[in-house]
Structure 1
Amino acid sequence: MSDVIKAGAAPKPVGTYPHARRVGNLLFLSGIGPRDPATNEIAGNDYFADGRVRSYDIATQARSVFANVRAVLEASGAHWEDLVDVTVYLTDMARDFKAYNAIWAEHFPDIDSAPCRTTLGITALPTPIAIELKCTAVVRD
Structure 2
Amino acid sequence: MNCYERLHARGLKLPQVPTPIGNFRHCTREGNLLFLSGQGPLNEAGSLMTGKVGATVSTEEAYGHAQLVGLNLLAVLHNELGDLQRVKRVVKLLGMVNATPEFTEHPHVINGCSDLFVDVFGEAGRHSRSAVGMGSLPGNITVEIEAIVAICD
TM-score normalized with structure 1 length = 0.72
TM-superposed CA distance for 1:111, in Å, is: 8.8
The structure 2 residue matched to 1:116, chosen from 116, 122, 128, is 128
The residue aligned with 1:4 is none
Q: Greater helix share, 1 or 2? A: 2
TM-superposed CA distance for 1:91, in Å, is: 1.6
SS at match of 1:69: helix
Contact 2:88 2:152 in 1 (8 A): no
Aligned residues between the structures:
126
The residue aligned with 1:104 is 114
**How is 1:1-141 mapped onto 2 (pairs within 5 angstroms)?**
9-36=16-43, 39-43=45-49, 45=50, 55=57, 57-77=61-81, 79=84, 82-92=89-99, 93-101=103-111, 104-108=114-118, 112-113=123-124, 114-141=126-153
SS at match of 1:138: strand
**Larger relative contact order, structure 1 or 2 (CA cutoff 8 Å, min sep 6):** 2
- Unaligned segments of structure 2, at least 5 residues: 1-14
TM-superposed CA distance for 1:82, in Å, is: 3.0
Aligned-residue RMSD, C-alpha: 3.0
TM-superposed CA distance for 1:129, in Å, is: 1.0
CA distance in 2, matches of 1:103, 1:140: 22
Q: Which amino acid aligns with 1:90?
A: V
Q: Which amino acid aligns with 1:138?
A: A
Seq. identity, %: 24
Contact 1:19 1:30 in 2 (8 A): yes
- Unaligned segments of structure 1, at least 5 residues: 1-7, 47-52
Change (3 A) 1:81 1:89: farther
What CA deviation, in whole Å up to 9, does each residue of 1:43-77 have, x standing for no partner? 4x58xxxxxx9547213311210100000111121
Q: Which amino acid aligns with 2:128?
A: C
TM-score normalized with structure 2 length = 0.67
